Amino acid sequence: MSAPGPGWPGHGGWGPHGPPHPGAPGYGVAPHPGAYPMKDAHPMAFHGHGTHHEFGPAENATIGSTGTWAKALGVIGFVDAGLEVLNLNLVGAGIAFAIALAFWKAGSSLTTVVATQGHDVHHLMQAVQQIGSAFYTRIVVTLLAVGLVAIVAVGLVVVAITIGVNAR
Amino acid sequence: MHAHVQPAGFHPHPGPYHPPGGGPSPHVELGPAENAIIAKTASRAHTWGIVAMVVGGLASFALVGAFVAMELLIAATPSAVSANVPRLVLGALIPAALVHLAVGVVYMRAGGALQDVVDTQGDDVRHLMTALGRLRLAFQIEVGVTVVSMILGLVIGIASSSTTSLEVR
Phi, psi of B72 (to 5 degrees): -65, -40
C-alpha B165: how far from its chain's center?
39
Output the CA torsion sign for B85, B87, B90, B91.
negative
What is the C-alpha to C-alpha distance for residues A39 and A37, in angstroms, rounded to an integer?
Answer: 6
pLDDT for the residue numbered B44: 96
Render B71-84 in DSSP notation, one character per residue: HHHHHHS--SS--H
pLDDT for the residue numbered B13: 43
CA atoms within 13 A on the CB side of A24: 12
Taking CB atoms and an 8 Å limit, are A48 and B31 in contact across chains? yes
pLDDT band at A109 (very low <50, low <70, confident <90, very high): very high
Q: Tell whether the model's pLDDT for residue A67 goes beyond 80.
A: yes
Interacting residues of B155 by C-beta distance below 8 A, sequence separation 6+: B88
What is the C-alpha to C-alpha distance for residues A95 and B169, in angstroms, rounded to an integer?
Answer: 41
What is the C-alpha to C-alpha distance for residues B88 and A48, in angstroms, rounded to an integer?
Answer: 56
By Cβ distance, the residue of A43, A66, A143 closest to B13 is A43
pLDDT for the residue numbered A111: 93
pLDDT band at A135 (very low <50, low <70, confident <90, very high): very high
The residue that leads in pLDDT, B49 or A46, is: B49
A24-28, A122-126, B26-30, B40-44, range with greatest mean pLDDT: B40-44
Residues of B in contact with A41 (CB under 8 A): 9-11
Output the CA torsion sign for B93, B98, B102, B105.
positive
pLDDT for the residue numbered A102: 93
By Cβ distance, the residue of B22, B121, B129 closest to A62 is B129
pLDDT along chain B (169 residues), means of 10: 47 42 60 92 95 88 82 74 66 77 92 92 89 94 88 78 62
The residue that leads in pLDDT, A48 or B107, is: B107
Taking CB atoms and an 8 Å limit, are B139 and A62 in contact across chains? no
Residues of B in contact with A138 (CB under 8 A): 48, 51
Taking CB atoms and an 8 Å limit, are B132 and A62 in contact across chains? yes
Q: Tell whether the model's pLDDT for residue A34 goes beyond 70.
A: no
Interface contact A43, partner B, CB < 8 A: yes
Q: Tell whether the model's pLDDT for residue A4 goes beyond 50.
A: no
Residue of B6, B10, B13, B29 for testing the chain A interface, max A β-carbons within 10 Å: B29
Question: Three-state SS for A44?
Answer: coil
A143, containing H or E segment: helix A120-167
Interacting residues of A128 by C-beta distance below 8 A, sequence separation 6+: A106, B37, B38, B41, B114
Q: Tell whether the model's pLDDT for residue A31 goes beyond 80.
A: no
DSSP B122: S
Interacting residues of A88 by C-beta distance below 8 A, sequence separation 6+: none
Taking CB atoms and an 8 Å limit, are B23 and A10 in contact across chains? yes
Residues of A in contact with B66 (CB under 8 A): none
pLDDT for the residue numbered B58: 85
By Cβ distance, the residue of A28, A47, A69 closest to B136 is A69
Taking CB atoms and an 8 Å limit, are A46 and B40 in contact across chains? no
By Cβ distance, the residue of A9, A48, A65 closest to B19 is A9
By Cβ distance, the residue of B21, B29, B41 closest to A128 is B41
As a whole number, mean pLDDT of residues A5-23 equals: 43
pLDDT for the residue numbered A14: 43
- Using one digit for the tens of pLDDT, what is the confidence trace for B78-123? 665 566 667 767 766 777 788 888 899 999 999 999 999 999 888 8
Name the residue among A88, A112, A114, A84 with its Cα closest to residue A99: A84
Phi, psi of A3 (to 5 degrees): -65, 155
Q: Tell whether the model's pLDDT for residue A50 goes beyond 80.
A: no
pLDDT for the residue numbered B123: 85
Q: Tell whether the model's pLDDT for residue A129 goes beyond 90.
A: yes
Taking CB atoms and an 8 Å limit, are B2 and A136 in contact across chains? no
Name the residue among B120, B37, B121, B28 with its Cα closest to residue A49: B28
Q: Kindly identify which residue of chain A lies nearest to residue B41, measuring between CA atoms.
A: A132
